[in-house]
Amino acid sequence: MSDSEQVLTTLEAAATVEPGKTAIVKAELTAASAKIWDLDTPHVYRLRAEWVADGKSVAVRDVDFGFRWITTDGVGKDAVIRLNGRRIRIYTSISWGFWALNGLFPSPELAEKEVRVAKQFNLNALNFHRNLGKEDVLYVQDRLGLLRCLEPGGGSQAFVPASQGHQSARRYMEAKIRGMIRAFRSHPSVVHYIIQNETTLDPQSPDVAALFELMQAEDPSRTIVGNDGFVMRAPQAWAEPYSSEIHRSKGKATEEGGAGGWWVDHTGHFSDVWQDTYYNSKDDFYYRSPVKAEIVEWGEMKGAASIDNHASVLRQIRSSGGVSYDKFDHEEQLAAYEKFLDRWSFRHAFPTAEKLFLSIGRRAYESWGAVPGERPHLRRKRYCGHQRLGVDSYGEPLRPGG
């Protein structure tokens, strides 16, 4: 059914399950009138599974989903990412999960704020960086049309050698990854899984292969990236959707390629603002890549080097009850900046510390406007990222009754 509760199709499937046992029931549904989920047309549907015994409803489970297809194409020749058949460049940013007030999870207002701010920046994706996904955020992303990459945080524990003779860390991480996939695999906004950011792995390890097999058994429809960062320092292993083949690099990659099909480097400007020296010609610029046969990802491009607006954050904390896990930190830093302005006689240029924060932020935005979208020579690149979004301001909740 759609969000408007219009039923598109139904199906009954007979099944017998003995007490205390489990069973897998498979059935095929066709919804010819369903609309595609896409960034500009995020159509969301709901699948309802109801267990009926002796003519009575015993249990009901509703799951939201969307009809969409995202995959890699042309690996080894002209590698691209495609969403619903068309090529797409993914412009993303990492979100650390340091949510305002409690530091752990978002309020409905903050969940929507993160997504809306990303779209205002003209990003089309976000990453849960080193932390598990949050259902409230994915609920909004599904409905506003923003992609999301998932990462369990510390995923390499699932294949590192046993510590002190036992496998507890590995079992824990396998359960964590399996739970992450089961919880979020139906969200149309979820595009791929990252095992770990900037990790070191052995592409030939049977333990790495076993983890890929575990993940694909839970969800074969997403790309899995083993090492998200620094492939010129450590090898790569990754898998395409609906393929059991693991693409493996033969060692460390170079600027010419050799990452097994998914080339990713974490880098940034030598300064915190754009400089004309970063572009000399169409063949000589900072983010130039000759790699055509592999997906090219420029990650963590130093976009986070901008200060928080501590004055604004403290106003929001006061309006939300006056309690926050980082309230003292913001108060201390704001006081230090006010003292700095007085000590060096900068009050004429910046009457308040907030004026300084906004000025710094404006220059950061201007610099990043020059990188992903305004420079034609950069349009082949797939990724850019590293902002801290949605953690310090409020919007209106999207979820009904939120």
Distance between CA atoms of residues 350 and 340, nearest Å: 11
Distance between CA atoms of residues 225 and 383, nearest Å: 14
Quick check: 395 pLDDT over 60?
no
Structural domain boundaries in the chain: 1-67, 70-301, 310-359
Distance between CA atoms of residues 134 and 146, nearest Å: 14
- The phi-psi region of residue 322 (left if phi > 0; otherwise alpha if psi is between -120 and 50; otherwise beta) is left
pLDDT digits (tens, 9 = 90+) for 157-211: 999 887 777 789 999 999 999 999 999 999 999 999 999 999 999 999 999 999 9
Quick check: 388 pLDDT over 50?
no
- Could you tell me the fold of the domain covering 70-301? TIM Barrel (3.20.20)
Rg (Cα) of the chain, in Å, rounded? Answer: 23
pLDDT digits (tens, 9 = 90+) for 222-272: 999 999 989 999 999 999 999 999 999 999 999 999 999 999 998 766 666
Q: How confident is the model at residue 381 (pLDDT cuts 50, 70, 90)?
A: very low
In single-letter form, the type of residue at position 245 comes to E
Residue 250 has a pLDDT of 94
Residue 384 has a pLDDT of 37
- 324 token code pair: 């926050």
pTM of the model: 0.89
Distance between CA atoms of residues 374 and 185, nearest Å: 34
In 185-263, where does DSSP find H-type helix?
A: 206-218
How far is the CA of 330 from the CAs of 253, 317, 326, 339, in angstroms? 42, 10, 6, 14
Kindly state the average pLDDT of the residues 309-313.
Answer: 95
Distance between CA atoms of residues 79 and 293, nearest Å: 5
Quick check: 43 pLDDT over 70?
yes
> Coil, helix or strand for 247?
strand
